[in-house]
Structure 1
Amino acid sequence: MSLRKVVSVSLGSSKRNKTVQAELLGQQFEISRIGTDGDFGKALATLRELDGKVDAIGLGGIDVFLYVGEREYAIRDGLRLMRAVKKTPVVDGSGLKWTLEREVVHHLARETDILPPGTRVLMVSATDRFGMAQAFIDVGCETVFGDLIFVLGVPFRIRTIRQLSILARLLLPFISKLPFRLLYPTGKKQDIQDEKKARKFAPFFEGMDVIAGDWHLVRKYLPLDLKGKIIITNTTTKADVDLLRERGAGYLVTTTPEFDGRSFGTNVLEGVFVALIGKPWREIPREEYMALLKKLNFKPRIVQLNQPRENTSLSG
């Protein structure tokens, strides 16, 4: 059996590097993450070195495409990285965010007691996970989108998909051209939490049952007290889980499956899917991703960390 290799090249910290092997649908995979500590030049060099030598490449620690409704917005720095790869399929996880993460929310609402109607949800950023954002609305959650707060530092809560869409049309054409490091923690910044900022932003977390969205944005502004709160995010390490447990979080839900004790980012999993399907990612419709998800029977990982909020329990 030939070994297929999928590598995530990330602008994130190299401390989070990991290599695992997994068998999916009879195919043996070696799945790796290579962090470049925020060094854009090193990321470009690593991508060029891997090009043509692996089965698929994921771009981690950065977005290439953002989708709000049916509109697509491209991040300039992300495109520079993607275009450095000429032979190997390269993805950023946006295709799976739209399908996998939307389905995770519906699964939690349908199969567990974690997301009853009226659950108060704070999404730290919805423009990079619009499928998840729409799903929270669809299942009846009272959802606040924190894109302006946690990405731009503007203390304004977005409360509807319509508001989000209008702001995206106005702002994303300009924001997408900024250096990505100004918008999102990269490199060593992913390992550091500014407690002063955590206290400053704590009021936005108060009264919320669920904190959802990209882990590095969540971690950057994580309140010191998470008593009973549910965290729904993408990729976590053992140290991340320990941090949430220490701060009193009730449940941790990760949207991607666990391999060898670690959940990887959507860009890694989308790289695996592209390798399994065997088509250019632009030619893969969302329905094909959904069909593969069902075939693999992927379910969110749900970990109880501490006593959750009252009347919350798993029923499926």
Structure 2
Amino acid sequence: MPKRIVSVSIGSSKRNSRAEFSLEGLPDTFVLERIGTDGSWEKAIELVRKLDGQVDAFGLGGADLYVWAGKRRYTFRDSARMAAAAEKSPMVDGSGLKHTLERNAVRLLDPQIRWKGKKVLVPSALDRFGLAEALDAAGAEVIYGDFIYALGLPFPIRQLAVLRLCAYILMPLITQLPFKWLYPTGEKQEKQILDWRQKYFQWADVIAGDWHFMRRYMPQDMRGKVILTNTTTAEDLEFMRARGVKTLITTTPRISGRSFGTNVMEAFVVALAGKYPLSEGEYLEYIEKLGLKPQVTELS
């Protein structure tokens, strides 16, 4: 029987997919599925309860269970309800893999991107603190856009220390809010908003992080820009080409025409390891073993 990994996502069902594959050197076949519930937490919880014990690992998609700031971890109330429904099969949200895989990707991409002095927009940094720290360490000029894109406030953060301090103060409150107030879910993921927030895309050389924030606010003219993200479909690539995006770099591999989210790939690693939780060192070990490296696609 193949090992089955299912990502239950609060996102749009239009992005549902399924892929079956095997990797050289591994005895098992793997099935990766992504099932969207169009913004319904109740449908997601019901689906998790139905599949619990029948899958090797769950991914929690379209939302975060945890976010990190430095060494502190914060848990979203809505996501915790969904995770509690998985009593037999482990559920991960990708935060463990983000912290290691994306940090590693910045290091590996330095010969190509030359991060020092590069202008980088991270629309949502608190769900990718490892990426934020790696870009800062590499010497990039970064705008962390959490206030801008999650809260709609015109306050760009330009220093990692300020981002960390804001997280310490605000995250205990923010994680108790309905997740849909903070992040596009369901059909909102398909809607574009073209407003004052476009100017930060125009400022940047590289836009890095969450694809749905990028797609939602991306201006029509993206000529010469580099996108560093994951969870992209063939339709997303055409969306980027139509706007003139120069290069797409995904931190997760493309399988059956799309790059799956970090929650799916973390669930894949957990299923492969046969245990949970995994330490940061164990994640790094599997990243090395599986050869998970950034994939570069030239679009124009």
What range is the shorter-chain TM-score in? over 0.9
Partner of 1:73: 74
1:159 aligns with: 158
Question: Which residue in the other structure is 1:285 paired with?
Answer: 279
Structure 2: distance between partners of 1:273 and 1:45: 25
The equivalent residue for 1:12 is: 11
Name the CA distance, whole Å, in 2 between partners of 1:39 and 1:213: 24
Partners of 2:272 and 2:114 in 1: CA distance: 32
2:184 partner SS? coil
Counterpart-to-counterpart distance in 2, 1:279 and 1:34: 23
Residue type of the alignment partner of 1:297: G
Aligned to 2:126, the other structure's residue is in SS state: coil
Q: Distance in 1 between matches of 2:127 and 2:207?
A: 15
Structure 1: 4+ residue segments shifted above 2 A: none
Q: Distance in 2 between matches of 1:271 and 1:142?
A: 33
Return the alpha-carbon distance in structure 2 between the equivalents of residues 303 and 125 of structure 1: 23
Aligned-residue offset at 1:68: 0.9
**TM-score, normalised relative to structure 1:** 0.92
Report what 2:295 is aligned to.
Answer: 301
Matches within 5 A, 1:79-158: 79-110=80-111, 112=112, 114-158=113-157
Task: Return the letter of the residue paired with 1:89.
Answer: P
1:298 shift after superposition: 1.4
C-alpha distance in 2 between matches for 1:64 and 1:161: 22
The alignment partner of 1:200 has SS state of: coil
Match status 1:243 vs 2:244: no
Amino acid at match of 1:299: K
Flag structure 2 segments of 5+ consecutive residues without an equivalent. Answer: none
Tell me, in whole angstroms, the C-alpha distance in 2 between the residues paired with 1:3 and 1:71.
36
Which amino acid counterpart does residue 2 of structure 2 have in structure 1?
L
| Alpha-carbon distance in 1 for matches of 2:28, 2:141 | 41
Q: Indicate conservation of the 8 Å contact 2:106/2:134, yes or no.
A: yes
Alignment match, 1:222: 218
Please give the per-residue CA displacement for 1:257-298, whole angstroms capped at 9, x wherever unaligned.
Answer: 1101110000000101111111122xx110111011111111
1:140-164 deviation line (CA, Å, top 9, x unaligned): 1111100000001110111111101
Contact 2:252–2:259 (Cα < 8 Å) also in 1: yes
Give the letter aligned to residue 203 of structure 1. Answer: K
TM-fit CA distance, 1:207: 2.2
Say what the alpha-carbon RMSD is for the aligned residues: 0.9
Equivalent-residue separation in structure 2 for 1:225 and 1:26 (angstroms) = 46
Look up the SS of the partner of 2:20 in the other structure.
strand
Tell me the distance in 2 between the aligned counterparts of 1:278 and 1:156.
44
Please give the alpha-carbon distance, in whole angstroms, between the structure 1 residues aligned to 2:98 and 2:241: 26
1:28 aligns with 2:16: no
Q: After alignment, is 47-56 or 23-32 more displaced?
A: 23-32
SS of alignment partner, residue 35 of structure 2: strand
| Map of 1:44 onto structure 2 | 45
Read off the aligned partner of 1:101 and give its amino acid letter.
E
Residue 190 in structure 1 maps to residue 189 in structure 2? yes
Give how far 1:210 is off.
0.4
Residue 166 of structure 1 aligns to a residue whose secondary structure is: helix
Q: How many residues align?
A: 298
1:60 aligns with 2:54: no
Task: Report the TM-score when normalising by structure 2.
Answer: 0.97
Question: SS in structure 2 opposite 1:32?
Answer: strand
Q: Which amino acid aligns with 2:168?
A: R
Q: Which moved more, 1:201-210 or 1:8-17?
A: 201-210
Residue 200 in 1 paired to residue 200 in 2? no
Report the AA paired with residue 79 of structure 1. A
**Cα distance in 1 for residues equivalent to 2:69 and 2:160:** 9
CA deviation after TM superposition for structure 1 residue 299, in Å: 1.3
CA distance in 1, matches of 2:232, 2:5: 19
How far off is 1:26 after superposition?
2.8
Letter in 2 for 1:36: T
Cα deviation, 1:80-115, whole Å, max 9, x if unaligned, reads: 1100111001111100000001111111104x2x23
- Which residue of 2 is the match for residue 311 of structure 1? none
